[in-house]
Structure 1
Amino acid sequence: MSRFAHPAGDRHAEVPHEERPPRPPADLNTLDPAVWPRTSGRTDGAVTIAGVDVRDLARDYGTPLYVVDEDDFRSRCRDYKAAFDGGHVYYAGKAFLCREVARWVDQEGLGLDVCSSGELAVALSVGFPPERIALHGNNKSYAELEAALRAGVGRVVVDSFDEIARVGYLAEKLDVRAQVQIRVTTGVEAHTHEFIATAHDDQKFGLSLNSGAAAEAVRRVLALPQLELVGLHSHIGSQIFDTAGFEVAARRLAMLLTQVKEEHGVVLPELDLGGGYGIAYVRGDDPPDIKVVADSLREIVARVCDDAGLPVPSLTVEPGRAIAGPAGVTLYEVGTIKDVEGLRSYVSVDGGMSDNLRTALYGAEYTCVLASRASDAPGVLSRVVGKHCESGDIVVRDAWLPEDLALGDLLALPATGAYCRSLANNYNYLPKPAVVAVRDGVSRVIVHRENEDDLLRGQV
């Protein structure tokens, strides 16, 4: 047995206790159903998604390759729509958006959050109903706001005093009445990474409840006849696994709803608690069932409004990662393998931080498997790294891969459907990978792979 191979139950002696990786799974070929798309499995040893063999995908489309399980994506849209029946569900397009995904979201009856004129253009290009689109962003330009108002988007979530004035000016200029929500910073400290916590006071989003800025924003919106204030918006962060933070945010928003009623005689009909619902990335992650979350949020809003003597507003939520994340898998080909004596094996693949920036950006955790075949070899503590000129170019920090892993093998990373393609970049002039949808044994390209002509386009 190699010194890098460790039987199940053993821990790597060289790694300090607090940094030790999780124990290897009993069977390295197992696909954890909590992490993989709902149609995943193995056939003749190879991983299949929606009945499509990953070896065929790699052969036909190349690697790296983003693979999206269409039925998984659509089923999660339906899960959210059913769980929040009576409210509104908007898919957060920043998680992953392309024309085909916009069609899926429309066909499943969800609304769509966009954060730029580019995302808006994608949605409108496939005829997505503008009245089911909400525009977000902390620094929307005049051009973006004008495009949204001309299109007739259903909601503009205003994020600053400057933006209130911009939207008011443009609505008057275009002779439209814009429906707006005010994004409120509630001061909730979500238990998540600093870069994806979005409701504490010291950050760029929203108008502070504690400072009185949110209440002043209400006054300014109500003073402009071309704006219709339809509700309050809050987003406490991302990858949240419980509803405690949402309850605190809802209680604080209820205080503002009460103030609005008392000061202005206005009862706001909508309360948007945002998204941020967590998913499983590695073995042991256990996000709550969305039906449980929905029932809990409804009960929270009803209770806090009853305590405040307010009618219960319509509840809106904005899942993105929770729909797209579990539906996506990324395929890589193994290029080099280096055993670092006494530490681990470094497995280099043909992508990296250009197609998955999250590990470098957030310290995100992933798991991976040998996907092109099964193996009974013992597990080796490995680090899957990319091909970029950065030591921080890590795809999976701690992975257990079989000792007989070889050049040319395929690795598959589950739970990569959200943010990986959205954050993809051309570092070291690597073209962005293709995105392929799979369903009922059939695959098709929904975003083409970039080539060198794409990289040179626009250069003088």
Structure 2
Amino acid sequence: MRAHEAGAMHGDIGDRGPGWLRPPADINALVPQLWPRRVARGAGGALTVAGLDVRELAAEYGTPAYVLDEDDLRSRARDFRAAFPDADVYYAGKAFLCRAVVRMIAEEGLHLDVCSGGELATALSAGMPAERIGFHGNNKSVSELTRALDAGVGRVILDSFTEIDRLTALARERGVRPAVLIRVTVGVEAHTHEFIATAHEDQKFGFSLAGGAAAAAAFKVIDEGVLDLRGLHSHIGSQIFDTSGFEVSARRVLALQAQIRDARGVELPELDLGGGFGIAYTTQDDPATPDELAKRLRKIVDLECAAENLAVPRLSIEPGRAIVGPAVFTLYEVGTVKDVDGLRTYVSVDGGMSDNIRTALYDASYSATLAGRASTAEPLLARVVGKHCESGDIVVKDEFLPADVQPGDLVAVPGTGAYCRSMASNYNHVPRPPVVAVRDGRARLIVRRETEEDLLALDVG
């Protein structure tokens, strides 16, 4: 996995070929692309983030804790904004959302993509301008759509004929004409886990292109004239490194755009290519920069528009993981170290699948490093596991840690900003960790730790 210097290939032991057992040359070295930009080793080899020692963070806020490098998040948001100056960059709030993050991305000039009433409420309560919000979801309720209309949400992404009828009725009642996009299922299956590939035909999102539903939806919206159809939307998956899927998606969506123009005389002015841009969780991952993504996506759209004799529409993209994922690491404390008959060493930490379900759910790979000190011990191939009563409670499947790792040590897992806190649970009645933002050597709590009192307060029996 290697949070340190490049060594082992990622995957489980059964996936490895000969030669994969290569310990790092320096067990204390950090691989820059895996960590927030302001993480380094300081006094005694302890990790620092924006100049603040993680031992101080652990002492003040406890463990486990999600640690956010605020300047890192802001700089990644600015990188996308600069790479796509003539496009709308929507931060995908489902990756991680809280009011402080809403304010950060708003201040950096981004739009915001929400997909539930709770995310919408968070965005509005933090002051995000409603016209910069896009509202996703395959089953938006009447109350959610009502709130979106009353707030003046900028774009509603339509996902079903039922939703078209629902939103049309609400818009008529209020005498408003909301701007909408139609989510098109383009039949492109991204090279990713089955449960996060979202554009093949057999899934719950969007209108099928191949079956004609997408065209029928567009014609229905145009013919009824109540909703303002601004464009089409496509999202092909998550943790994607190869832009070839975007090329196929853009070609098919723009062909539909040309079909709509030819059938109804309407040339839609917008095109949303979604997100799903990958990040580095291990040394085996090689993500593109925002500049590289912008060049590739613009070239794809320009070529396809020329082929269809279409004016180039205003683009939208939806990076979430690519902005917040690398900006956060999770800080744990080791509780036990167990050697199982020489087969494997288990390093148990005080969190686990309740604060990071992705390893269990998606077979995701992560890295880890000893965080509270440096070590001169030999590398030890270990499995970092959680404290839950579940054999699948694995945080990092295989990682080289120092052989002297012991109870009380701090361990940090990078790349946990996306889909860790947002998918966290109270499994085994474990309270969820806090989120601590660090900037210029100062830390502030932006999401407090849950307590047992919080859990009991909901139990009214």
What is the TM-score when the length of structure 2 is the normalising length? 0.96
Code of the residue aligned with 1:439 in structure 2: it is: R
Partner of 1:386: 386
Q: How big is the shift at 1:189?
A: 1.3
3-state SS, counterpart of residue 223 of structure 1: helix
Q: Offset at 1:457?
A: 1.6
Deviation per residue, 1:374-393 (Å, 9 max, x gap)? 00111111000001110000
Contact 1:344 1:380 in 2 (8 A): no
- What is the CA distance between 1:25 and its match in structure 2? 1.8
| Residue type at the aligned position of 1:141 | S
Seen in structure 2, the aligned counterparts of structure 1 residues 140 and 434 have a Cα distance that, compared at 3 Å, is same
Inter-CA distance 10–391: structure 2 relative to 1 (3 Å threshold):
closer
Query: Aligned-pair distance for 1:10?
Result: 9.6
- Write the deviation string for residues 30-57 of structure 1: whole angstroms up to 9, x where unpaired: 1110100000100021001111111000
Question: Could you tell me which residue of structure 1 aligns to residue 206 of structure 2?
Answer: 206
1:161 aligned to 2:166?
A: no
CA distance in structure 2 between the partners assigned to 1:39 and 1:129 by the alignment: 30
Q: What displacement does 1:289 show?
A: 1.6
Match of 1:3 in 2: none
CA gap 1:176/1:59 in 2 versus in 1, 3 angstroms = same
- Match of residue 28 from structure 1: 27
Equivalent residues in 2 for 1:352-367, closer than 5 Å: 352-367=352-367
Instruction: Tell me: CA distance 1:15–1:77, structure 2 relative to 1, closer, same or farther (3 Å).
Output: closer
| Deviation for aligned residue 1:23 | 2.5
Q: Match of 2:362, as an amino acid?
A: Y
1:173 aligns with 2:173: yes
Distance 1:136 1:459, change over 3 A: same
1:359 and 1:405 mapped to 2: Cα distance? Answer: 22
Contact 1:381/1:399, CA 8 A, preserved across alignment? yes
The letter of the residue matching 1:36 is W
Alpha-carbon separation, structure 1, partners of 2:199 and 2:15 = 33
State whether residues 8 and 21 of structure 2, in contact with CA within 8 Å, keep that contact through their aligned partners in structure 1.
no
Distance 1:126 1:56 in 2: 29
The 8 Å contact of residues 370 and 409 in structure 1, kept in 2 or not, is answered as yes
Report SS of the residue matched to 2:225: coil
**Letter aligned with residue 410 of structure 1:** L
Residue 141 of structure 2 corresponds to residue 141 of structure 1:
yes
Letter in 2 for 1:278: G
Structure 2 CA distance for partners of 1:164 and 1:17, relative to 1, 3 Å: closer
Q: Is residue 348 from structure 1 mapped to residue 348 from structure 2 by the alignment? A: yes
Give 1:176 shift.
Answer: 1.1
Q: Which residue of 2 aligns with 1:5?
A: none
* Percentage identity across paired residues of the two chains: 63
The answer to whether the Cα contact below 8 Å between 2:246 and 2:273 also exists between their aligned partners in 1 is yes
- Mapped to 2, the partners of 1:454 and 1:176 lie a distance apart of 41
CA positional deviation for 1:223? 2.2
Structure 1 segments of 4 or more deviating over 4 A? 8-11, 14-17, 19-22
Give 1:256's aligned residue.
Answer: 256
> TM-score scaled to structure 1, two decimals?
0.96
Q: How many residues align?
A: 451
1:360-439 alignment, distance < 5 Å: 360-439=360-439
Q: Distance in 1 between matches of 2:160 and 2:166?
A: 10
Using the alignment, how far apart are the partners of 2:138 and 2:30 within structure 1? 40
- Deviation, 1:284, is 2.8
**How big is the shift at 1:254?**
1.1
1:458 to partner: Cα distance: 2.4
Residue type of the partner of 2:376?
Answer: D
Deviation at 1:343, TM superposition (A): 1.7
Residue 126 of structure 2 aligns with which residue?
A: 126
Q: Which residue of 2 aligns with 1:89?
A: 89
Question: How many angstroms apart in 2 are the aligned matches of 1:163 and 1:129?
Answer: 24
Give the gaps of 5 or more residues in structure 2: 1-5
SS in 2 for 1:293: helix
